[in-house]
């Protein structure tokens, strides 16, 4: 049985000057996870390592470098699902955790498998994960965008569901919006599939907003008998169609992973007005699928015996 790994760095209108950093970040995450898989590590270890690396890379909207809420803070969500046991761990509205994916893994074994806000952070401390200042997650790029939005000089994307503060005679606003959710799916030597994701959400979101990322069946799903899916994009639209489960159900009906990915994105496009995003798929046989309806999606993948592939 081949080992395999696929990662993504978000589906959105990635600006031209950010294409190379996104591609480099995905390649680095792939290399980190692949190194573990090739030495016999579990799919859980590989996914956590790959996603942690992207959380620490300030180019992505996950962990350090995430977009800011309307209050000017960072709030993070993450999840991880084990395809063999169907166990999952999810955490949301985190303000003081550097690597939410590691907290999600701690939650995998229960007794509660999804925690939010203060309760999640208390659990983190009890399990050896230190808290940090929220300011440590903020980079100058996002602080400057927030200041521009606050002054009414730019508008969020429609998917953010917020409006610029009122201003007298505001200038013509440009639109800003990223859906840089990061994710990974790994297939290990034992045949297990694991899906993982992490995000800072949408720019200038309402405090407390939770999108698809930590929701099993929406932002991710893993079943070692069938396949695993991780989604990215406008979370509210992804949740409405339970996008990850849509793709899994297509695999269950015999569709190839590429067909399942493309069909799921068509559902997102056709059934939800403005539905936008992408997904990655991996099967127990090491077959890859990926599709998106946004301008770009950053990705990288490798299957045992084949050279790595990456793109946007």
What digits encode the pLDDT tens for the residues 212-238?
Answer: 999 999 999 999 999 999 999 999 999
Higher per-residue confidence, 42 vs 174: 42
Give mean pLDDT, residues 55-80. Answer: 98
What is the pLDDT at residue 174?
35
Is pLDDT above 60 for 175?
Answer: no
Q: How far is CA 177 from the centre of its chain?
A: 15
The catalytic residue among 64, 69, 162, 181 is 181
Distance CA 25, CA 53 (A): 8
Indicate if 199 belongs to the active site. no
CA dist 161 to 30, 80, 201, 236, 285, Å?
33, 27, 12, 10, 40
Query: 4-136+176-311: what CATH class?
Result: alpha beta
Is pLDDT above 90 for 160?
Answer: no
What is the pLDDT at residue 201?
96
Mean of pLDDT over the chain: 93
What digits encode the pLDDT tens for the residues 183-202?
Answer: 999 999 999 999 999 999 99
Give mean pLDDT, residues 252-273. Answer: 97
Of 158, 223, 163, 233, whose CA–CA distance to 193 is shortest? 223
Is pLDDT above 60 for 157?
Answer: no
Give mean pLDDT, residues 12-31. Answer: 96
What is the pLDDT at residue 154?
84
């Amino acid at each position: 049985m081949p080992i395999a790994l696929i990662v993504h760095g978000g589906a959105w209108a990635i600006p031209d000057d950010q294409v190379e950093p996104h591609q480099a970040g995905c390649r680095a995450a792939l290399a980190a996870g692949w190194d573990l898989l090739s030495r016999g590590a579990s799919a859980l270890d590989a996914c956590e390592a790959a996603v942690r690396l992207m959380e620490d890379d300030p180019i992505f909207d996950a962990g350090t470098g995430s977009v800011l809420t309307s209050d000017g803070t960072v709030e993070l969500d993450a999840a991880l699902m084990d395809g063999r046991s169907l166990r999952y761990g999810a955490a949301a509205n985190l303000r003081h955790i550097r690597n939410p994916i590691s907290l999600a893994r701690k939650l995998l074994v229960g007794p509660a498998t999804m925690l939010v806000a203060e309760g999640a952070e208390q659990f983190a401390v009890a399990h050896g994960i230190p808290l940090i200042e929220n300011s440590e997650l903020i980079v100058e790029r996002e602080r400057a965008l927030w200041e521009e939005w606050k002054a009414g000089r730019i508008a969020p994307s429609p998917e953010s569901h917020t409006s610029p503060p009122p201003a007298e005679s505001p200038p013509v606003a440009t639109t800003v919006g990223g859906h840089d959710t990061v994710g990974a799916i790994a297939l290990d030597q034992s045949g297990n599939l694991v899906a993982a994701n992490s995000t800072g959400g949408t720019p200038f979101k309402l405090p407390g907003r939770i999108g698809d990322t930590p929701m099993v069946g929406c932002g991710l799903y893993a079943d070692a008998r069938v396949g695993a899916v991780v989604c990215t994009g406008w979370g509210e639209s992804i949740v409405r169609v339970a996008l990850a489960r849509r793709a899994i159900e297509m695999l269950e009906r015999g569709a190839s992973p590429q067909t399942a990915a493309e069909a799921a994105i068509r559902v997102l496009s056709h059934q939800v007005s403005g539905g936008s995003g992408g997904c990655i798929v991996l099967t127990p046989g090491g077959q890859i699928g990926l599709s998106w309806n946004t301008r770009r999606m950053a990705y990288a993948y490798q299957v045992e015996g084949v050279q790595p592939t990456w793109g946007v």
